[in-house]
Amino acid sequence: MESEAHAFDSQEQENTDILMSSPVSTPTNVANRVSIKFDKTTGVFSGVPPQILEKLQQQGYSLEDVEKDPLLIKDFLYEQNLEETLKPTKPPADSKNPLFQRTKYIFDFAMESWYHILEDCTPKTEFVSLSIPQAMALYDLCHYYYSGTKQDQLDSNKQNVLANIETEIDKKIQGFGGKAFVKLSTRSPKDAYTSTVNQKMTDIYLQELKKSDGTPNGDLCAFSNAGRLVSVVHSGKEALEILQRSSRIREDLMRALEFPSAFTLDIIVREWIPMLPQQEFRAFVFNSQMTAISQYCYYQYYPEVAKNAQKLKDRMLSFWKTIADKVPQKNYIIDFVVLDDRVLIIELNPWFQDTSACIFSWREPADREILHNGPFQIRVLEKPLEDPYSALALEWRSFTEKHRGIEPKRKQKPGEQEVTEFPWGIAVGAVVAVGLCAVAWWKKDELFK
């Protein structure tokens, strides 16, 4: 495969080298720096000092709590060093600090960096600026939610700060007719209601399931649509509720507050545009050339998308050519929504492996070659997955199977054969083999005379 470095200028290549790892680093001002990683497959933490786990346990957290929410460790470290972290220690622009470079690269794609240039091609947007105290109050709100602490237990000053943010968001939402979508400068809280079972998502999902064709793929499409509908907010209170529930939002707040004098965050309030999950697509642009497009909701099969893939591709390519010269980046991943009468930009994303490649894969050399150098491809699902429910979080899978009266099926490990009854033959054979080995060992002197 041709070297990827040829298409980067020196700064972009340096950024890419730094950004290919996904874990969020711990605060840079911690005296004893640690790099915490959590392996979701094995359930094992690496780089976690025993004293940290001990202190978390002293505060009432169990290992099960930590495994369920690995960010608890990062929250703990952050709080312990908050005073030091908030000192104005802005690194120089040419800082070699990997975390600073990573954060800078991510913020290069924040909505503030491109909205004014592409305002006519994206949903109408208002910005609620966050000061450092406001960002900290919002971070604490997120942390309190995940620790099970009620918001009214925040100190009165932070409650007043949050009340002011709520009021500002209210004004922006009313300007859009009382209905909007909220996010941070960097990412959306799309995980807020879809990660675990909750009443708000349940109510909407059950309504969408009534429209499903009853197949697992139909149910998955219903879940995806419910995930969109649950994101609409009508007030500042609802906006703060959805933001506090999102681990993505908490992570981005933490990232920005690592360098509070270098990076600022806004709460983004966008007009609510009715759109369906099958109308959203992700496109890949490398060295100012579009190399690929994938359907965004890539676990769901939509017959109309498969049937009209080429027409959809032509519409997106034609639209992109009208705005390509305005985009301030050479390498980026851009999300479109293809409506009946127009194509709009939803988001610009950093070009790195943390940004999902959807139906493509960063790990596959052939796919990486396409994403970097083409030839151009559009990929959509052409048939349902064998097990669409596998795309759901475990709690939602169990909920859906119970709703449908389906016997839960244990997920098999790669290469594992399904066992429907106890393998008596294998068990008896193993016992006999062990017995023969024991006899052979006992009689070894006679056998080898």
| Tens digit of each residue's pLDDT (9 = 90 or more) over 293-332 | 999 999 999 999 999 999 999 999 999 999 999 999 999 9
| DSSP string covering 277-299 | GGGEEEEEEETTEEEEEEESSTT
Please identify, among 345, 379, 413, the residue that sits at the C-terminal boundary of a domain. Answer: 379
The CATH number given to whatever domain includes residue 337 is 3.30.470.20
Domain end (from 363, 379, 395): 379
pLDDT at residue number 428: 53
Query: How many domains does one find in the chain?
Result: 2
Peptide bond preceding 375 in cis form (omega within 30 of 0) = yes
How would you class 383 by CB atoms within 10 Å of its CB: exposed for 0-12, middle for 13-18, buried for 19 or more?
Answer: exposed
What is the model's pLDDT at position 156?
A: 86
Answer yes or no: is pLDDT of 21 > 60: no
Determine if residue 96 is left, alpha or beta; phi over 0 gives left, psi from -120 to 50 gives alpha, anything else beta: alpha
- 52: number of Cβ within 10 Å: 20
Residue 247 lies in a domain: no
Query: How does DSSP assign 240-276, residue by residue?
Result: HHHHHT-HHHHHHHHHHHTSTTT---EEEEEE-----
Picking from 331, 351, 379, the residue at the C-terminal end of a domain is: 379
Residue 20 has pLDDT above 90, yes or no: no
Pull the structure tokens for residue 380: 């959509």
Average pLDDT over residues 221-241: 97
Higher pLDDT, 136 or 5: 136
Residue 322 falls inside a structural domain: yes
pLDDT at position 415 over 60: no
Identify the domain containing residue 69 by its residue range. 30-80
92, two tokens: 């120089």
| DSSP SS3 for 120 | helix
pLDDT digits (tens, 9 = 90+) for 336-361: 999 999 999 999 999 999 999 999 99
Residue 293, strand partner residues: 283, 378
What CATH number did the domain enclosing 43 receive? Answer: 3.90.810.10
What is the DSSP code string of 1-20?
---GGGGS-HHHHHHHHHHT
Is 124 part of any domain? no
Q: What are phi and psi of 183, to 5 degrees?
A: -160, 180
Residues 6+ apart with CB under 8 A from 345: 118, 121, 122, 323, 334, 335, 336
Determine, yes or no, domain membership for 125.
Answer: no
Backbone CA torsion sign across 422, 428, 433, 435: positive
Q: pLDDT category, 3, cuts 50, 70, 90?
A: very low
**Encoded tokens for 153:** 């237990």
- Is 353 among the domain residues? yes
What residues does 126 pair with on adjacent strands? 269
Query: What torsion, rounded to 10 degrees, do the Cα atoms 107, 112, 114, 116 define?
Result: -170
Tally: H helices and E strands in the chain: 18, 10
In which band, very low, low, confident or very high, does the pLDDT at 97 lie, cut at 50, 70 and 90? Answer: confident
Compare 24 and 219 and report the one with higher pLDDT.
219
218 in any annotated domain: no
Does the predicted model carry a pTM greater than 0.75? no
Biggest alpha carbon distance in the chain? 97
Which of 375, 103, 151 has the alpha carbon at shortest distance from 257?
103
**Residue 271 within any structural domain of the chain:** no
| Helix 132-147 vs helix 156-175: crossing angle, to nearest 10 | 100
Half-sphere exposure of 162 (CA within 13 A, CB side): 23
Mean pLDDT of 249-254: 93
At 405, list the tokens.
């009266």
Average pLDDT over residues 170-189: 96
Is residue 206, in this structure, part of any structural domain at all? Answer: no
